[in-house]
Structure 1
Amino acid sequence: MWCFTSQFTETPPIQPTAVNSTHSACMCDPICVNVGGELYTTTLDTLTRCRDSMLGAMFTGQIPLLRDRNGNFFIDRDGKPFRHILNFLRCNSLDLPGDFTELALLRREADFFQIRPLLEELEKVDSQERVLHFNYKRKPENYELRSCTVRVHTAHVFCTSHALIELLSSSFSYRTGAVSMAPEPGRMDLQLEWVPCPPELPTEQHIRHGFRELSTTQQSENSIYTQGNSNTSTYGSGGVSISDTPSFMAELLRVVMAEGFRIDLVSPDPSDVLNCRRLRCVRY
């Protein structure tokens, strides 16, 4: 998972009443927190387990909080995935049910609250490899069973600028065989999922499994990742196939830096920025 983040903003809801300071005498255990309508009861120690996170800042007096009509602290975020965030803070381990299908949503909330240990655990879950078995036709009426491994890549880009999200959407293209289409942008985010087709997998099998490749939308002059990189290929109609982390990050940085964003070098190692799994960029 690769995440580009600009600035975090939150629009206060109308009903709750603002609290001038959360770090006051009323901040005592147990603490009731209303997250998007879901009520949770926990301790101050749990909420501030990662003190350098946004959640920790909320409950150490650095960020003013709101209260609902019942006096509970109110956070205007999706309440259901917050359960898994609390459990991670309590146990320091990520234990998701086997049929869990909201990984992207949990990743988004963990990114908002800036809980870095949880984001690192989600990165491990995010790297997916699948073994495919398919029939290969050698001759008429002569088939053999073959297998190959494909890697599923996902990227979640978050930015408060909708114009930049649309620009990023237009910079990438999904390809299914000879058909291409632009990814659908959200209001403040862009989610991508693609599966490069390995040489040993026939194209028709790649299509049959519903996989899509990802490429840039223009014949790129980004020599930063096209030169000497055997994992990229150029399509005849223009654009470069994106098959790994460096090629995706290079195209992402090409677009956002042209728009005046700069890398926040506190998080990634500047000498290895194209291989990082999370990246924060800001524009002042």
Structure 2
Amino acid sequence: MAEIVKLNVGGVIYTTSRSTLTKYPNSMLGTMFSGRLPTTKDEHGNYWIDSNGEIFRYVLDFLRHGCLTIPEHFKDFELLEKEADFYQLPELTKAVKTRSCTQCGKQINDTEEKEHLVVKVSTRSYDSYVQIFGANETIRKLQSSLSPYKNGQINDMQCGEKNIVIHKYCQRSLPPAALKLELLNLGFNMCQNVPDEAEPEKTASYWFMKQKSGAAE
């Protein structure tokens, strides 16, 4: 019979099994509930974890089912990725990044007349990056023009129904001003600035748009 475990995560109570918590032995929870890491209990005997209690539901579901289960219009990807890193679950981190990229790709609504591109910028001290979402042809042009800045971390990824290409640069290696200049050179203009709800002062998405060749103004 599975051993039942009660958790107090940031004030939110969860009930699960020890086998679920140790599904990934090298994770933080795996080491905690296999006895390799000290644990703390609250006044009611629940295991205490000082983290985001609301977001933990998605972490726990991932442990239970082995896949990321989130609502269709979920927005807190940055926060969930941060929690995945906190719990030392690289499998969840990867799943969050992939779903975030796919969802952002679906939001890009290109038409016959207009092309859109999204740039996500993070200025967080522990995770500084510039992430670019756009069409294959546009990304290839940017790769060529931004080649002098390739001395930092770069990750390529293809995902989404529209064959969106994501290019990720360490922000220190790719100044946002340089990227904006290259986008202006390609005919893009910034049309929207969307701060992240979780960390509006440190993370934001910038939407760029341009008229396609031959399209009427």
Which residue of structure 2 lines up, in the alignment, with residue 159 of structure 1? Answer: none
For residues 87 and 11 of structure 2, the distance between their equivalents in structure 1, rounded to whole angstroms, comes to 17
Higher helix share: 2
Which residue of structure 1 lines up, in the alignment, with residue 209 of structure 2? Answer: none
For residues 118 and 46 of structure 1, the distance between their equivalents in structure 2, rounded to whole angstroms, comes to 14
Say if 2:146 is the partner of 1:232.
Answer: yes
Which residue of structure 2 lines up, in the alignment, with residue 61 of structure 1? Answer: 35
Cα 1:90/1:197, change in 2 over 3 Å: closer
**SS of aligned partner of 1:230:** helix
1:210-236 C-alpha deviation (Å, 9 max, x unpaired): xxxxxxxxxxxxxxxxxxx514078xx
Which residue of structure 2 lines up, in the alignment, with residue 78 of structure 1? Answer: 52
Displacement of 1:104 in angstroms is: 1.0
Query: Which of 169, 174, 193 is the aligned partner of 1:248?
Result: 169
Say if 2:6 is the partner of 1:32.
Answer: yes
Cα 1:231/1:30, change in 2 over 3 Å: farther
Say if 2:76 is the partner of 1:102.
Answer: yes
**SS of aligned partner of 1:67:** coil
| Preserved contact between residue 132 and residue 150 of structure 1 (Cα < 8 Å) | no
Displacement of 1:126 in angstroms is: 2.7
Cα 1:151/1:92, change in 2 over 3 Å: same
1:4-56 C-alpha deviation (Å, 9 max, x unpaired): xxxxxxxxxxxxxxxxxxxxxxxx72100111100000000000000011111
Pairing of 1:199-278 with structure 2 (within 5 A): 230-232=144-146, 245=155, 248-249=169-170, 251=172
| Preserved contact between residue 4 and residue 17 of structure 2 (Cα < 8 Å) | yes
**Identity score, percent:** 30
**SS of aligned partner of 1:248:** strand
Q: TM-score normalised to the size of structure 1?
A: 0.45
Displacement of 1:132 in angstroms is: 4.1
Say if 2:87 is the partner of 1:120.
Answer: no
Letter of the 2:169 partner, please give it. F
Displacement of 1:249 in angstroms is: 3.9
**SS of aligned partner of 1:66:** coil
Displacement of 1:251 in angstroms is: 4.1
Say if 2:48 is the partner of 1:48.
Answer: no
Give the RMSD, CA atoms, in angstroms.
Answer: 3.6
Q: How many equivalent pairs are there? A: 154
5+ long unaligned stretches in structure 1 = 1-27, 135-144, 156-182, 202-228, 253-284
Query: Which of 89, 111, 119 is the aligned partner of 2:85?
Result: 111
For residues 133 and 250 of structure 1, the distance between their equivalents in structure 2, rounded to whole angstroms, comes to 27
Letter of the 1:232 partner, please give it. L
Which residue of structure 2 lines up, in the alignment, with residue 131 of structure 1? Answer: 108
Asked which structure has the greater CA Rg, the reply is 1
Displacement of 1:95 in angstroms is: 1.3
Say if 2:117 is the partner of 1:150.
Answer: yes
